[in-house]
Chain A
Amino acid sequence: MKRLVLIPFIGGVVVAAGMALTEPATSRFYRAALIAAALLTAGSALITTHLFAKSDKLFAAWLLIGSGYGLAAIRYSLRLVTMFGGPELLGRAALDTLLIMQNLLIAIALWLFVRSWRATGLATPFSGAARTGWTLLGVGVAVIVGGYPLIQGFVTAKADTVLLVSTLGDMVGIALIVPLAMSALAMRGGLLMHTWLYLAACEAFWLLYDVWLALRTTLGIDAPLGPGIEQVIRIIAILFAFIATVAQRRALRR
C-alpha cells in the first residue's frame, strides 16, 4: 500500500521530461499527460463505487470524484483537439460550464468525505482546541491562497463567474485538507488511512499549484521551467486522487 505513493511522483518525473521538448510538442505532451491522468482517475473512482451500496455515503463521494475528473478529461481533450489545429468543438460558455461543474463536483465530493467521517461520531486523536486551531489554520490558508487570484481578477477587471466558482472550489478543497488529514491520522495503522491521506495530499498539491501560479508570475519564471513545474504539480495532484481510489479498493478487498 505504501508503494502506491510512488505513482504520483513517477508521473511527475515523466511529465518533467516535457521540458526537454520544443513547442508545440511540449504543450501537446503536457495536455496528453493530463488527459491520461484524469481518465485514469475518473475510471478508477467509478470502479471504486462498486464496493459501496448506492445508499452508502462514500458511493456518492466516489461517483462525484469520478464525474469531476471525467469532465476534466473531456475539457483537456477538447483543448488538445484545438492544439492540433482541430475545430473548437464546444463554445467558450460550454467549456466554462464544464470547468465550473468539475470544480463543484470535486469540492462536494471532498466535503462528503469529511462529513462521512463526522457522521461516524468517532473522535480524532486531538483535543477540541487543537482540532479547531488546525481547522481554522486550513481555512485561513485557503482564504489567503484563494483570495489572491480572486482579488487579482477583480483588480484587473477579469473577474467572472468562472473565476469565482473555480477559485471557490479551490478554497473549499484547500480548507478540507486539515479535516481529511485529521481523519487519516485517527485511522493510523488502518488500511483506510491511506485513502484519506492521499486525498489530503491531492488537495495539498492543488494548494501548491495555486501558490506556484502566483509565484511564477511574481518571480517571472518563464518557459520551459515555469510551465513545466506547473504541469508536474498538476499531474502529481491528479495522481494522488488516483492512488486514493486504488487505496480504497485495496482496503475493502483485503
Chain B
Amino acid sequence: MAVATKRPADVVREQLAPYVGAFTAKNAVQMGAKQIGTDAEHLTAAQVPSLLDALGPMMRTLLGKPTAEKVAAEIRREVGA
C-alpha cells in the first residue's frame, strides 16, 4: 500500500500556520515560491532551503530570530532537505 507523503509546500504551511494562521501561511508560501521562480504546488524538497531563505526576513520579523530558526530547522527535518 502506498504511503501518502506531504508535499513540501504543505509542510511549510503547516509549520507556519500555528503562528500566523492558515491564510498568512498560504500567502507566505506562495510569495516565497514566486521569489525563487516556482509555484507552491510544484515546490520540491530540494527547493525548500531556498524557500526558507526567501521566507527568512518575514519569519524573523514575525517570530524573532530564535523561533524562526527553530521552525526552519523543523521544516528541513520534516521534508528531509
By a beta-carbon cutoff of 8 Å, the part of chain A in contact with chain B is 51-53, 55-59, 116-117, 119-123, 125, 186-193, 251-252, 254
Q: How far is the CA of A187 from the CA of B15 in the complex (A)?
A: 14
Chain B residue nearest to A253 (CB atoms) is B67
- Whether the pair B65, A123 counts as a contact (CB closer than 8 A) is no
Q: Which of A55, A119, A186, A189 has the most CB of B within 10 A?
A: A189
A160 CB to closest chain B CB (Å) equals 38
Q: How far is the CA of A57 from the CA of B68 in the complex (A)?
A: 13
B interface, how many residues as a size bin? 20 to 34
Chain B residues with Cβ under 8 A from A57's Cβ? 61
Contact A189 B61, CB 8 Å, known A121-B31, A122-B28, A123-B27 = no
A188 CB to closest chain B CB (Å) equals 5
> Quick one: which of A52, A56, A188, A254 contacts B23, CB cutoff 8 A?
A188
A119 CB to closest chain B CB (Å) equals 6
By a beta-carbon cutoff of 8 Å, the part of chain B in contact with chain A is 17-25, 27-28, 31, 57-58, 60-67
Chain A residues with Cβ under 8 A from B18's Cβ? 190-191, 254
Chain B residues with Cβ under 8 A from A120's Cβ? 28, 57-58, 61-62
Contact A116 B64, CB 8 Å, known A121-B31, A189-B17 = no
- Whether the pair B66, A58 counts as a contact (CB closer than 8 A) is no
Q: How far is the CA of A117 from the CA of B65 in the complex (A)?
A: 15
- Whether the pair B21, A186 counts as a contact (CB closer than 8 A) is yes
Chain B residues with Cβ under 8 A from A189's Cβ? 17, 21-23
- Whether the pair B24, A252 counts as a contact (CB closer than 8 A) is no
Q: How far is the CA of A58 from the CA of B68 in the complex (A)?
A: 13
Chain B residues with Cβ under 8 A from A119's Cβ? 57, 61
- Whether the pair B21, A53 counts as a contact (CB closer than 8 A) is no
- Whether the pair A125, B60 counts as a contact (CB closer than 8 A) is no
Q: Which of A52, A117, A254 has the most CB of B within 10 A?
A: A52
Chain A residue nearest to B58 (CB atoms) is A120
A63 CB to closest chain B CB (Å) equals 13
Chain B residues with Cβ under 8 A from A251's Cβ? 19
Contact A116 B61, CB 8 Å, known A189-B17, A190-B17, A254-B18 = yes
